[in-house]
Structure 1
Amino acid sequence: MKKLKLFLILFFGYAILTIIMTYPVVFRFSSHFMCDGGDGFQNVWNMWWMKKSLMAGTHPYYTNLLHYPAGITLLFQTLNPFNGLISIPFQFFFKMEEVYNLVVLFSFVMSGVSMYYLVDYLLDRKLPAFVAGIVFTFCPFHFAHGLGHLQLIAMEWIPLYVLYLLKTYQEDRKINAILTALFWVLNSLCSWYYMIYCFVFTVIFVIFYMIKCGRKIIDNGFLKRLGMTILIFSVVMSPILMPMLYVKMTQNFTGEHNPEIWSADLESFFVPSGISTWGRRWFSGIWKDWTGNTAENSNYLGYIVLILSIYAVVKDRRCRFWAVAGLIFFVMALGPYPHIGGKQFSIPLPYLLFHRYIPFISFTGVPERFDIMLKLCMSVLVGYGITNLNEIILSIFKNKMRSRSITAMRWRIATVKIVFNGILAVLIGLEYLAIPYVTTKIEVPSFYRQMAKDIEHYGVIDIPSRPVTLYMATIHQKSLVGGYVSRPSLKALSFLDQTPIISTLMRGKPAPPSKLAQTLATSVFADFNIRYIITHNDQHLQFLEDILQLPVVHRADGITVYDCH
């Protein structure tokens, strides 16, 4: 009961802070999505698809609702099935705007809660642990990927993985090894990046303590318990990982990131980016030169967090591991070559070696995202730093209050601790401020809802193909020719490239002569049961109306719909 009470206090405490830090979301909760016009809508489709596939009893990692008619594997899609699974009950009762926003807010709240548990385990100090949770969940990385990377917003299981890894090391209990595996699985079901980062953290942890403790790490049975964790994780995840390996070896995929572009700029750790309230206002002249985009170069540490972390490392020997791990993740985030002010310098960094010779590291392609592990380490260091400062302040305060009663002294000490930690929390929150939080309102053309009432199944060409096209697909629930996918295979793209008419509309290939084009269009649309072409601009107007002579069945709400039947 005591643990439940603490959890509820933490949950509602971080929930209140989340409402403040994500302003004006609370006033747009039912009308806007907590994302920009990009990848967020891919994740809306992901959640909708998870429900649809499970309700229909089909495999969630394959669909023919995208890249119709052949369909496409979703093994390399940013599917984040955990978010999809927890969204399913809400999809029966709420709008997709509300469902998506609930999942985002849940991640903000639970990321704070989980970091609290980690730091409280290490320090047994409630207030520093709460402030550490603020550092972790409201760091710029979280806000930046809030632009649409729902899989990366879900940071809430990383601290709990680390917590139970520590318990597995320190306590001879099998339950800790099992829970470590569980949280590793949960991280994997949110993001493949987080699965890899948990592995990298574990390697750093094992090497550090083997150097520090020698045979103790073997004698205390930790490696045996860790082996149990790895075995459980492998068994649970093998139904997904084994097909991924097979498909990766037998097919070629596109869309992989170039790590030289998606590396953290050294300046980005010390200057607020475009996601920051202060960065937008005062520092655009600096961050506009960084490579990548706002979602991937928001690595600002915050000077209060940096000072507290350095103080902790200098003052407390217990911080050595967190300092070493944080430094490693910092260097990895810099990518294969350092960037300063948008300029790349030809100095090879460790990431280059790992990217070339370790397959699962090369799979990532966005080294900047290692920043979240740096933020995890610094959140822990902030907890240590505040704890040490609290002890200094309280010792001074106690000396001045020796003549007071014990009860009065306790109240004064509690007040001083709350005020001091509260001031630090407010200052950190202000430094990390990212309001107004980016939201997007989408008006759904009436024709999409009209299609949803049609019980027939057929294909639709919706051009240009954008992430928001996937949101519209959740409305009309028909199959899309093409569709925005994280890692499409060359096999899937070959249909778009090689099929007449479709290659003209979707890949910009030259159109056939008029008479031949009409004949081919009739054949292609009939063979693949493609009913409508929906356009959002006039790019193909002449081809569709003058050459193919397709009848217009709807021209309103910013779209034009052509009947292919």
Structure 2
Amino acid sequence: MSAGARRMLHPLALGVSFLLSAFHTWPLLSQMKGVVLGGREDVYMNMWHLWWMRQAVWVQPQNPFFAPFLHWPLGAELYWHTLAPAKTLWGVVLLPFMSVETAYNAVLFGSFVLTGYTSWLLLRYLLERAGHGPWIAAAAALAGACVFNFSRYHLNHATAHLNLTALEGMPLYLYCFFRWLDEGKRKWLVGLAVSALYVLLCDYYYLVYIALFSLLWVVAERWKRGPLLSVDTWNCLLYTSDAPTNS
């Protein structure tokens, strides 16, 4: 496959993810105004998050992780709250041009599109690394991305939990993680750190999951090279690859 064809796969995968997301969340895309996906529980709280982030970051700059209006006059800390700043910061950009309901629907729909694309990136890389041809890997990765993106877990949480619907950061983290282990380049380490921060700013549950996975994966890989109690083996944990570390 030529370099140009490989580049064209990315907008194609994004386009397919958009169309499939529209199908699986229908009629969300046709009713972006005045209607929200979900029930009467956390949806309204999540819409408030969009409004609050705009207020705290732009309208009346203040600490977005402390809301003086909640439990007034004491206020309430939001550090461990499901604020999902990586998603609700979109309120700063979107709310001047649309209602909070439309902004919420747009952010929610965008999570499906991005999750489909990032999971496709991860799966295509793993399949090509396993020796499959580029076309087969791209097609099979698309099928796998659909299984992940439109799983019951994802669709169920989309009805109430914006923070848990934001799955797109985890495949991106794993993509950078495996590229870093395989190539040892700094750009993948930077991508790994940025995607981990993004995951944290969506939901810290997911950061715990990917941290545990990363630790177990690295330990398992080093186990293949010698006993875990060997000093030399544990020294290897400081390095991820024999490849040079420059980008």
The residue type paired with residue 103 of structure 1 is: V
The residue type paired with residue 200 of structure 1 is: L
Superposed displacement of residue 173, structure 1: 1.0
Matches within 5 A, 1:122-141: 122-124=126-128, 125-141=137-153
The residue type paired with residue 236 of structure 2 is: I
Matches within 5 A, 1:260-409: none
Give yes or no for contact 1:33–1:97 (8 Å, CA) kept in 2: yes
In the alignment, what sits opposite 1:41?
A: 44
In the alignment, what sits opposite 2:161?
A: 149
Give yes or no for contact 1:46–1:84 (8 Å, CA) kept in 2: yes
1:25 pairs with 2:28: yes
Cα distance 1:105–1:217, how it changes in 2: closer, same or farther (>3 A)?
Answer: farther
In the alignment, what sits opposite 1:179?
A: 191
In the alignment, what sits opposite 1:117?
A: 121
| Distance in 2 between residues matched to 1:213 and 1:123, nearest whole Å | 24
The match for 1:62 among 59, 66, 70 is 66
* Offset from partner CA, 1:347-398 (integer Å, 9 cap, x none): xxxxxxxxxxxxxxxxxxxxxxxxxxxxxxxxxxxxxxxxxxxxxxxxxxxx
The residue type paired with residue 170 of structure 2 is: I
In the alignment, what sits opposite 1:107?
A: 111
Give yes or no for contact 2:176–2:191 (8 Å, CA) kept in 1: yes
Superposed displacement of residue 224, structure 1: 11
Give yes or no for contact 1:209–1:217 (8 Å, CA) kept in 2: no
In the alignment, what sits opposite 2:81?
A: 77
Tell me the secondary structure at the aligned position of residue 213 of structure 1: coil
The residue type paired with residue 44 of structure 2 is: F
Give yes or no for contact 2:94–2:103 (8 Å, CA) kept in 1: yes
Matches within 5 A, 1:199-218: 199-214=211-226, 215=233, 218=236
In the alignment, what sits opposite 2:96?
A: 92
Cα distance 1:169–1:121, how it changes in 2: closer, same or farther (>3 A)?
Answer: same
Give yes or no for contact 1:18–1:109 (8 Å, CA) kept in 2: yes
Superposed displacement of residue 223, structure 1: 8.3
Superposed displacement of residue 59, structure 1: 0.5
**Equivalent pairs, count:** 225
Give yes or no for contact 1:217–1:223 (8 Å, CA) kept in 2: no
Percent identity (aligned): 26
Give yes or no for contact 1:34–1:100 (8 Å, CA) kept in 2: no
Tell me the secondary structure at the aligned position of residue 49 of structure 2: helix
Give yes or no for contact 2:50–2:90 (8 Å, CA) kept in 1: no
Structure 1: gaps spanning 5 or more residues:
226-565
In the alignment, what sits opposite 2:239?
A: 221
Tell me the secondary structure at the aligned position of residue 222 of structure 1: coil
| Distance in 2 between residues matched to 1:104 and 1:158, nearest whole Å | 16
In the alignment, what sits opposite 2:10?
A: 7
Give yes or no for contact 1:210–1:217 (8 Å, CA) kept in 2: no
| Distance in 1 between residues matched to 2:242 and 2:198, nearest whole Å | 22
* Offset from partner CA, 1:258-304 (integer Å, 9 cap, x none): xxxxxxxxxxxxxxxxxxxxxxxxxxxxxxxxxxxxxxxxxxxxxxx
> Could you say what the CA RMSD is over the residues aligned between the two structures, in angstroms?
2.2
| Distance in 2 between residues matched to 1:180 and 1:224, nearest whole Å | 18
Tell me the secondary structure at the aligned position of residue 148 of structure 1: coil
Superposed displacement of residue 68, structure 1: 1.0
The residue type paired with residue 71 of structure 1 is: G
Superposed displacement of residue 168, structure 1: 1.5
Give yes or no for contact 2:163–2:203 (8 Å, CA) kept in 1: yes
Superposed displacement of residue 220, structure 1: 8.6
Structure 2: gaps spanning 5 or more residues:
129-136, 227-232
Cα distance 1:69–1:117, how it changes in 2: closer, same or farther (>3 A)?
Answer: same
Instruction: Give the greater-gyration-radius structure (CA).
Output: 1
Q: TM-score, normalised by structure 2?
A: 0.85
Superposed displacement of residue 216, structure 1: 9.9
* Offset from partner CA, 1:71-126 (integer Å, 9 cap, x none): 11111110000001233211110111110011111111111100110011111311
* Offset from partner CA, 1:509-536 (integer Å, 9 cap, x none): xxxxxxxxxxxxxxxxxxxxxxxxxxxx
Higher share of residues assigned helix: 2
The residue type paired with residue 13 of structure 1 is: V
Give yes or no for contact 1:184–1:195 (8 Å, CA) kept in 2: yes
Give yes or no for contact 2:184–2:241 (8 Å, CA) kept in 1: no
